[in-house]
Structure 1
Amino acid sequence: MALNPSDQASTGMFFPTQTPGTVLCCTCGVAMAPNPANMCVRCLRSRVDITEGLPRQAVVNFCPDCSSYLQPPNKWLRFNLESQELLHFLVKRLHTRFSRLVTLTHAEFMFTEPHSKRIKIRLRVRREVMNGAILEQPHIVEFVVHDKLCLSCSRLQANPDQWVAAVQLRQHVPHRRTFLFLEQLILRHGAATRAVRIADAPHGLDFFFASRSHAIRFVDFVNSVAPVQYRTDKQLVSHDPKSNVYNYKHTFSVEISPICREDLICLPPKVAHSLGNLGPLVICTKVSNSIVLMDPFTLRVAYLNATQYWSDPFRPLLSSRQLVEYSILDIEPESDIVTVGGSRYQLAYVQVARMSDFSNVFTVKTHLGHLLNVGDNALGYDLFGANPNDMEMDKYKGLVLPDCVLMKKSYEEARARRSGKQRNFKLKRLDIEVEPTGGRKGEEDKRNDEYRKFIEELEENPELRFNISLYKNDNYEPSEMGSSMADAEEIPSVPVEELVADLEGLDIGDGQDQE
């Protein structure tokens, strides 16, 4: 081992530095590092071709309808173009033929036009040649893509209405807020990519699948994001007595709980007792696979899972479509700001009056003390002028209802001044077959109004858009007028950091695995 100059001086010894020796190539005479063949790399490649016998072209079958590739004999797999999964799939197709001749060290895609029906990959192969010398060389393989429909797509082409399993998703409420939110969750997780057809239905949607396993997977997904109960049924289509084969059509009837976010609920005595004497007047703050209930007067929170709810179901006293706008006349905080269930609240006493009638002024307790100021508007439930017909309320003797229950801050006036302006984000939509309204303009206007309110809820509630993909709106142009700066600060909006680029346009079927 050679020493440093300082070490050599200290020891008084001299160690010569060793340099690797070189030899002359036996063919061209170029100085080179010695190897078992005594030939330089250029001469070795001129005499030996290690890629001889390796395939330079191969064929891969591709289903254009579902974007999947055939893995013989009959398995179809879905990959993104030029993805690592597709590269592994193609290399694995060649591995059996390569492993007997060479060793594969590297693989990568080469650029090809997307419409060329060609996929090129560059490989680096290694092989031992001439007395043990190791030679490495690049090798390009071109895959010719042949279009071929998979079995499920070919059946669908023959009969578009052919399906094996249907999922009937229903929620018996007068609005479609839940389905608008559920639609975005389905798109984000690709839960309905295997659906043959999606059709609109009264109080819900119908999903049709070509396989019972795909329907079961979709039902499991809905069960993980919403409190549901379901039952199954099947109908015999055909029977082959010789082979003892039965063909059935399966139906899954899935019912979503009618409890929605921002609903006002009067808990049944049995449920209230099981939740530690909560309420009985509570509001729903969040709905996932469980229902989050909160007492707006004490900030007590309870969680109700699907099993607990369906064992003793109940309906909301008032829904979010019955909210009334109030004006805040005075506010007096009662406690400090606290965090309950991941959200911030503050108890306060406020004086409010209906925007449509200032003759009556109410003093009520609210959980929105951290959001409201004098002069603001708020949306709440009018219990002073309402006539609730709820059997659960009759079970509580001496129950005194407040004049109103405030639910959230209102931005209606500021939104009216900003009407007609584009937003900086957009949403994808499922391809749902909607029956024609037959000239009923009310149905179309109702759908548009519900979608508009859903967009506004996404802007107001960051927790609501946490599991939703919001895409950048390329057509959005920020306003250059300075007069709207006050409205822009007042109205909640979606930060640009939460938006993602829409690289796939509105194609909802790309990039999902298929079995």
Structure 2
Amino acid sequence: MAVNPSNQPSAGMFFPTQTPGTVLCCTCGVPMAPNPANMCVRCLRLRVDITEGLPRQATVNFCPDCSSYLQPPNKWMRFNLESQELLHFLVKRLHTRFSRLVTVCHAEFIFTEPHSKRLKIRLRVRREVLNGAVLEQPHIVEFVVHDKLCTPCSRLQANPDQWVAAVQLRQHVTHRRTFLFLEQLILRHGAATRAVRIAAAPHGLDFFFASRSHANRLVDFLNSVAPIHFRTDKQLVSHDEKSSVYNYKHTFSVEISPICREDLICLPPKVARSLGNLGPLVICTKVSNSIILMDPFTLRVAYINATQYWSDPFRPLLSSRQLVEYSILDIELESDIVTVAGSRYQLASVEVARMSDFSNIFRVKTHIGHLLNVGDNALGYDLFGANTNDMEMDKYKGLVLPECLLVKKSYEETRAKRRGKQRNFKLKRLEVEVDATNGRKGEEDKKNDEYRKFLEELEENPELRFNISLYKNENYEPSEMGSSMADVDETPSVPVEELVADLEDLDITDDQD
């Protein structure tokens, strides 16, 4: 007999396949996998009903004004319809009665009409039955939704002007760019979902809340996304001498730094020394909870947080609404492309002339050389003809200003051909109450123009739209673009991959096709 020393199976050897053993059901005789009860699943369900004693109907209180559900005794929680959070909330309501009888393995919603005042969930429960056998069985529970106003909404129904806390958000600048951006951040993070009312005010917005904690939450959110400082105040509304209960109205006065992205700043000497003799001419490249300042001639960067700024505040020398369009006549690169504070820059020497006046040609240094080519247009600050009456600049003796300072590339010519056409994305807006009696003539046109420029900035700057939710525009048709392919490729736009579907626009039908 030959022995295989390597213990490896040879080609002619046969290995039988193992098949799981089966037994016959003691009741119906059907072959089945063995289990401790020696019964098939069908016979087990005929003898034992593990859902016996489980509730098939329950109730839940719902506030129709704020779309929140009551968690006894007095906590209201807001959930979207058929969301995972709502499913967890409903299952938790049943957990006390289910945990003593069965174990819940799986849960899912069963579709019901949105206005039927019914919520159905299908549970898959598990329980040990005869002789240690484990049986699983589906169980449907129907929740009857009862409408009941929560305490803040009931107070609002009684008196619409009744509020407990107000947040007065202000920024003393001549434009609304910051508020347009903050509006999208507030919507994305749901920072003002508890607001009773939002009203427009000069240089800002007013948020009214039915609870002081909700106002505190908005102030904390603003402090995490913008350089702010705030003060609080309260006013006594009523006082019960017998129970010593005091009712106050709280007000949060929040001010945002006037420094905005793309602003030109002349740093005070004290601030410049604290930042390692930066500048003194710098450009604000980004604003979050800190202000990022960059020297456009050396690419040095400094960060200023809210505490540092408000301890020694300063204002911009020129804002982005004072940008002038220039034409690039010649360009010479002076360095390689470098990444500074997450953005790309390249030093270059360019020859420029104002689009409105070609009589003066200047040779200046810029930090956006990687974006420019001969024949392009760029936006910059005209320091040659500007009347800069700034006290901080007078403190620097012998300071020589450049004739102009370029900030970004301009797409005004190609955008003019596309203006009036629909974009492939859209944004959601806050429901803000506007007092029509105080509106000045031409104010609406100014707001529309600022909103249009904000949309153009979103298309040009991917970093700006990183924290903003852009939704697909269902009415957008690419065939409506009346420009050439060259213009379409040159003008920046939002890629389709960055867009998300708006659930409010979804059309769910029964068409299987």
TM-score of the pair, normalised by structure 1:
0.91
Residue pairs, 1:95-494, within 5 angstroms: 95-130=95-130, 132-436=132-436, 440-479=440-479, 483-494=483-494
SS of the residue corresponding to residue 370 of structure 1 reads helix
Letter in 2 for 1:328: I
Pick which of 409-418 and 163-172 moved more.
Answer: 409-418
Amino acid at match of 2:459: E
**Which has the larger displacement, 31-40 or 314-323?**
31-40
CA distance 1:417–1:29, change in 2 (3 Å)? closer
The verdict on how the C-alpha distance between 1:105 and 1:384 changes in structure 2, with shifts beyond 3 A counting, is closer
Distance 1:193 1:55 in 2: 34
Shift of 1:104: 3.0
Answer whether contact 1:107 1:123 (CA < 8 A) is retained: yes
**In structure 1, the residue corresponding to 2:77 is in which secondary structure?**
strand
> Residue 227 of structure 1 aligns to which amino acid in structure 2?
P
Q: Which amino acid aligns with 1:407?
A: V
Aligned to 1:22: 23
Name the aligned partner's letter for residue 22 of structure 1.
Answer: V
Aligned CA distance change for structure 1 residues 54 and 396 (closer, same or farther; 3 Å): same
1:29-76 CA distances to partner (integer Å, 9 max, x unpaired)? 555566665554434433433322221111111112222111111111
Unaligned 5+ runs, structure 2: 1-6, 507-513
String of CA shifts for 1:165-189, please: whole Å, max 9, x gaps: 1111111111111111111111111
Offset of 1:426 from its aligned partner? 0.6
Partner in structure 2 of residue 49 of structure 1: 49
C-alpha distance after superposition, 1:483-506 (max 9, x if no partner): 521211121111111111111359
Q: Distance in 2 between matches of 1:123 and 1:292?
A: 53
SS of equivalent residue, structure 2 residue 183: helix
Cα displacement (A) at 1:128: 4.0
Q: Does the 8 A contact of 1:36 with 1:131 survive in 2? A: yes
Aligned to 1:512: none
Q: d(CA) in 2 for partners of 1:351 and 1:89?
A: 65
Q: What fraction of aligned residue pairs are identical, expressed as a percent?
A: 87
Residue 417 to residue 36, structure 1, CA distance change in 2 (3 Å): closer
Q: What runs of 5+ residues in structure 1 fail to find an aligned partner?
A: 1-5, 507-515
Distance 1:377 1:145, change over 3 A: same
Structure 1 residues 313 and 58: alpha-carbon distance in aligned structure 2, compared to 1, 3 A threshold: same
Higher relative CO (Cα under 8 Å, sequence separation at least 6) belongs to: 1
Amino acid at match of 1:312: D
Task: Decide whether the 8 Å contact of 1:437 with 1:443 is kept in 2.
Answer: no
Deviation per residue, 1:1-47 (Å, 9 max, x gap):
xxxxx9999xx9x999897463452x545555666655544344334
Query: Mean Cα displacement is larger for which, 244-253 or 46-55?
Result: 46-55
Distance 1:314 1:262 in 2: 15
Q: Structure 1 CA distance, aligned partners of 2:296 and 2:396?
A: 19
Following the alignment from structure 1 to structure 2, what is the Cα–Cα distance between the partners of residues 304 and 18?
Answer: 72
Contact between 1:68 and 1:79, CA under 8 Å: does it hold in 2?
yes
CA contact 2:418–2:481 (8 Å) conserved in 1: no
For residues 212-236 of structure 1, the C-alpha deviation after alignment (integer angstroms, 9 at most, x for no partner) is 1111110011011111111111000
Counterpart of 2:23, as a letter, is T
Deviates more, 1:423-432 or 1:472-481: 472-481
Q: Which amino acid aligns with 1:53?
A: G
Q: CA deviation at 1:482?
A: 7.7
Deviations 1:334-382 (A, max 9, x none): 2222221111111112121111111111111111211111211111111
1:500 is paired with a residue whose SS is: coil
- Secondary structure class of the residue paired with 2:371: coil
- Rounded to whole Å, the distance in 2 between the matches of 1:146 and 1:241 is 37
1:323 touches 1:379 (CA, 8 Å); kept in 2?
yes
Contact 1:290/1:303 (CA < 8 Å) preserved in 2? yes
Matching residue's letter, 1:314: F
Alignment-mate amino acid for residue 422 of structure 1 = Q
Tell me the TM-score normalised to structure 2 length: 0.91
SS of structure 1 residue aligned to 2:304: strand
* Alpha-carbon distance in 2 for matches of 1:230, 1:481: 47
* Counterpart AA for 2:56: R
Paired with 1:274 and 1:218, the residues of 2 have a C-alpha distance of: 32
Amino acid at match of 1:390: D
Q: Please list the CA deviations of residues 223-256 of structure 1 after superposition, one character each: whole Å capped at 9, or x if unmatched.
A: 1111111111100001111111111001111111
C-alpha distance in structure 1 between counterparts of 2:68 and 2:408, whole Å = 47
Equivalent in the alignment of 2:511: none
Q: 1:38 to 1:165 in 2, by over 3 A?
A: same
SS of the aligned residue for 2:235 comes to strand
Contact 2:258 2:316 in 1 (8 A): yes
- Structure 2 distance, partners of 1:182, 1:8, is 71
- Alignment check: 8 A CA contact 2:169 2:255 kept: yes
